[in-house]
Amino acid sequence: MRLRLLNASNARSYLLKLEDIPLNLIATDDGFIEKPIVLKELLLTPGERAEVMVQLDRSGSFSLLNLADNSQNIGREMPEPLLTIVAPDNPQPTPLPKRLATVEEIDLSEVVQTRKFKFGGTAPFSYTIDGRTFKMDRIDARVKVNTLEIWEIENATHLIHPFHLHTYPFQILARQAAQSDLWQPEPFRAWRDNINLPAKEKVRIAIPFRDITGRTVFHCHISEHEDRGMMGVIQVT
């Protein structure tokens, strides 16, 4: 069975688990990965999408559970059942595909610009990027179309900030955990437009700004943070 999942909540994250049945990740926000990756749990932050395949090898009903410990969970039963999947009698699961797609390897020798952005502010009222709140008529980054950039995004706060960029899918190159100087390379290639950026962590992404010119935005995908200013404007010419 194939599940296509979207976190459409304004602020909650979901840590998904289908009882003891593994979730086989096959796609991220913007398409297939190269081969299925077996996960016990799948974290989806606001705005993120994923597709998983599950092999139901016995009859019965199974709950897709949310294990995430959000402050917004007050009053909810935890773990929180989100939906129930009923397997047919004597199911005969088919094997997983061995290969799904080729995910382009970005040629980093073509990078023309590296930028850094810091997500900061003082919750609950101030949410900033590089110390500034969103201004519709201010351009925060000027980009040349059909060039490749690396963006290093730092979360300087104690909250999560799912980073989202419109129009231009990107790949994660590496992440840096809180209180570490080490960059951990991303274990697999995937096209995304949304990344979970946990408290005090950094992420490095490669963005090919292909074909499309114009003005668009990047922002935290928690609506309350975005609406209080955690958003920037890029102009691609």
Nearer CB in complex with Cu ion: 100/156 = 156
Give the largest CA-CA distance in the chain.
61
| Residue 225 C-beta: closest distance to Cu ion, Å | 3
| Residue 154 C-beta: closest distance to Cu ion, Å | 13
Interacting residues with Cu ion (CB under 5 A)? 161, 220, 222, 225
Nearer CB in complex with Cu ion: 17/225 = 225
Q: And the tokens for 168?
A: 């231009």
| Residue 140 C-beta: closest distance to Cu ion, Å | 16
Q: Cα–Cα distance between 200 and 154 in angstroms, integer?
A: 7
Nearer CB in complex with Cu ion: 107/224 = 224
Exposure of 217 in the CB half-sphere (CA atoms within 13 A) = 16
Q: Cα–Cα distance between 48 and 162 in angstroms, integer?
A: 8
| Strand 49-53 relative to strand 2-6, pairing | antiparallel
Nearer CB in complex with Cu ion: 161/192 = 161
DSSP conformation class of 178: T
Nearer CB in complex with Cu ion: 97/124 = 124
Nearer CB in complex with Cu ion: 44/220 = 220
Q: Cα–Cα distance between 19 and 16 in angstroms, integer?
A: 9
| Residue 230 C-beta: closest distance to Cu ion, Å | 5
| Residue 203 C-beta: closest distance to Cu ion, Å | 14
Secondary structure of 2-47 as H, E, C letters: EEEEECCCCCCCEEEEECCECEEEEEECCEEEEEEEEECCEEECCC
| Residue 236 C-beta: closest distance to Cu ion, Å | 24
* Three-state secondary structure call for residue 175: strand
